Structure 1
Amino acid sequence: MPTLKDIMTRDLTTTDPRATLKEVATLMREQDIGNVLIMDGETLRGIITDRDIVVRAVAYGHDLGSVASDYATGSVFTLDAGTDVQDAARQMAQRQVRRLPVTENSQVVGIVSLGDLATRTSGGADEQALQGISQPTI
């Protein structure tokens, strides 16, 4: 059974907690990605997505010079690299998480997206669990 370590992306794009929304958006454009991890040294402080920038900042007319970490999701849910892919899919669905930082020895070593679970596993992860990530909670 594959683990998160087998499918995670190891090439992480990170920024420090003082980066601006514009700086983060520029990183996203340059790297062709939709999320950036906010790190304080080796400590994960948050994750910000392109959607966070649009919905939490731009839609309200906030200045692009604002500190990005103010718009990020803090207390980020992570899983250990040794976690079984099926278990990860279920936990992501339960928490409505589309991007999952992966850790080893409490250090962020990779990231797994919903798409990774669907495409990088033989036969895909638990389809029912993956569908649950996109469903509104009632």
Structure 2
Amino acid sequence: MHEKQKARDVMTPDPVVLPEDTPVVRAAKLMRDQAIGDVLVTRGDRLRGVVTDRDIVVRAVAETRDISVTPIGALCSTHVVTVDPDQDADDVVRLMREKAIRRVPVVEKGHPIGIVSLGDLAVEWDPTSALSDICAAPPNE
């Protein structure tokens, strides 16, 4: 069992954040270079949504959009479930289970400050699990 932790204790801090007018190709290259699967999308300095590598494939590539000019704001999911940094981590897990989501942005006063993923939770709470091993392994090239 883990001690009472908050979202801030299990989140990955300083998530990759890009403005909504960023071209898809730039976001994709950033995901590749940083070995991540998602980018938080902002309008001004406020969270607007999340775009994932899957969003890029399904909503841009498969629809033959020009990824050099299509903005990530046109692809991102905007109905994003977020949590406060002081929310209990157990509540975050419950929320992820109820909503069937794999990652939750951590937002403070509308500003994204972190993200909690299934991998973060596995590494933090069960470092000997298969999921933890997979999440801790270097990405495929």
Q: Secondary structure at the match of 2:59?
A: helix
Q: Secondary structure at the match of 2:65?
A: coil
Q: CA deviation at 1:104?
A: 2.5
Is 1:60 aligned to 2:53, yes or no?
no
1:48 alignment partner AA: V
Structure 1 window deviating more from structure 2 (44-53 vs 104-113): it is: 104-113
Deviations 1:25-71 (A, max 9, x none): 01111211111111123200111000110112111222112111111
Partner of 1:7: 10
Q: CA deviation at 1:106?
A: 3.4
Q: Secondary structure at the match of 1:102?
A: strand
Contact 1:80–1:103, Cα closer than 8 Å, also in 2: yes
Partner of 2:44: 41
Where do 5+ consecutive residues of structure 1 fail to align?
Answer: 125-138
Where do 5+ consecutive residues of structure 2 fail to align?
Answer: 129-141
Q: CA RMSD in A?
A: 1.7
TM-score (norm 2): 0.80
Q: 1-side partners of 2:47 and 2:59: how far apart?
A: 20
Q: How many residues align?
A: 124
Q: CA deviation at 1:22?
A: 0.3
The alpha-carbon distance between structure 1 residues 107 and 68, as it changes in their structure 2 partners (threshold 3 A), is closer
Deviations 1:56-106 (A, max 9, x none): 211122211211111100131101111111211111111121111112333
